[in-house]
Amino acid sequence: MDEVEFCPGCKSDNIEQESDVLDTWFSSGLWPHSTLGWPDDTEDLRYFYPTTVMETAYDLIFFWVARMIMMGIEDTGDIPFRTIYFHGLVRDEKGDKMSKTTGNVIDPLEMIEQYGTDALRFGLITGTSPGNDSKLSLVKLEAGRNFANKLWNAARFVIRNLDGRQVDAGVQKDLLPAEDSWILSRLNGTISNVGRAMENYQFAEAQKHIYDFLWSEYCDWYIELAKVRLRSTEVETSPVPVLVHVLETSLLLLHPFMPFITEELWQNLRRYLPPDRREVESVMVARYPVVDDNAFDPEAERIMETVIEIVRSIRNTRAQYNVENSRWIEAQVYAGKLEVSISPYVGAIETLARARPVIVHSTRKEESTAENAVTMVLGETEVVIPMESMVDLEAEKKRLESEIARNEAEAERVETMLKDEKFLSRAPAAVVEKERRKHEAIVDKIERLKQQILKS
């Protein structure tokens, strides 16, 4: 490089080379120890160096990571960290690198304004794995926003049912109904799965475990079951203490992933907690959940998974036969060994599946099989729904006959076309083949419609 004799801007020759400048990557290599007071033997240096984990993108392995290790050994005699976690690069939803030139850049400030900071964090973590690039799309951000809304509404429901009262300090597990033991068992399973994933740096997997538990088990099932109990005047054990305990623990689990909404909700919940748990000022410094081995309850999980399976099967059947939401249908449940355990949940099954009456039996006799009924064979139970409780059989028969007539007319039209020599000789082979497949599909549909008439 040629010696510079004067400033090309001001033309002054009164210039000298700056002596207090380090190369970018060279200075970055000094970071782990120079910020702690090195070369002096400071308390911070002794306490924080070396640290445990270094996290960075894989494209900085030689630019930064290798330099920090070499300079750390040279200057202090020890490496600056024991574990290096390499994450991937954030790309657009097609997997292309984001670039202002191509116009595929997602501005984080705009996304925060539209979806929220926690939703952006949720989207960035979703679907990632160590060392692999991730695709960020608006679908992921929308999922994060929807999850935040779901959590917010769940917390509002729980706090509203506290009626301004402090919750009891704990629950007596031996007196809990099966759904309480079930959700506590599932919570501990989630804590275990999250801990295992975090230890292996599988952060997206950890987030997914929390998401699935909160959305699919706590919100969709336990809160709905709790609503049934809260409306009942015959329930001896309130679900509120368990609602609060599971919500608070879940907020602690979720905090590293969605820190803002969890802090806000925890602060709102905190004033209703027992005194020893109110002493903690922030969710940030609260103890992270650990597994309680005594909370696992395989039998409660077996019972509640069966109840959920029964409700789902009835709901699916309603959807399959387009049963109006306002119509209540009948259901016979043959529960075998679970008859005694399932019977207390008849009211909940009726409410959640819109089926009344729901009658639970032990076993089914052959002669009790209804001719016009839908039978669903589940894991440990069977559910039988009489057709007349779902549809007007005469009206349904007329509808099916009308649909058969329309399809037979269409089948006849296509068959006539396929017998026409002019059509066969002039039409492209692909068009002819398409019409043949269409005729076969219509004939198959007619047969299935006729089978439905026989069943009804």
Structure tokens at 331: 């259901």
Calculate the average pLDDT of the chain: 89
Q: Rounded mean pLDDT of 368-383?
A: 80
* pLDDT band (50, 70, 90) for residue 171: low
CA distance 442 to 104: 46
**What's the pLDDT at 169?**
55
Tell which wins on pLDDT, 403 or 209: 209
DSSP state of 214: I
**What's the pLDDT at 167?**
75
pLDDT digits (tens, 9 = 90+) for 27-38: 888 999 999 999
Question: Do 146 and 215 contact (CB within 8 A), yes or no?
Answer: no
C-beta atoms surrounding 25 within 10 Å:
14
pLDDT above 60 for 117: yes
**What's the pLDDT at 347?**
93
Q: Rounded mean pLDDT of 151-164?
A: 93
* Total count of residues recorded for the chain: 456
Q: What domains are there in the chain, each with its CATH number?
A: 24-87 (no CATH), 125-296 (1.10.730.10), 299-389 (3.30.2320), 393-455 (1.10.287)
pLDDT above 70 for 456: no
Phi/psi class of residue 419: alpha, beta or left (left: φ > 0; alpha: ψ in -120 to 50)? alpha
**What's the pLDDT at 97?**
83
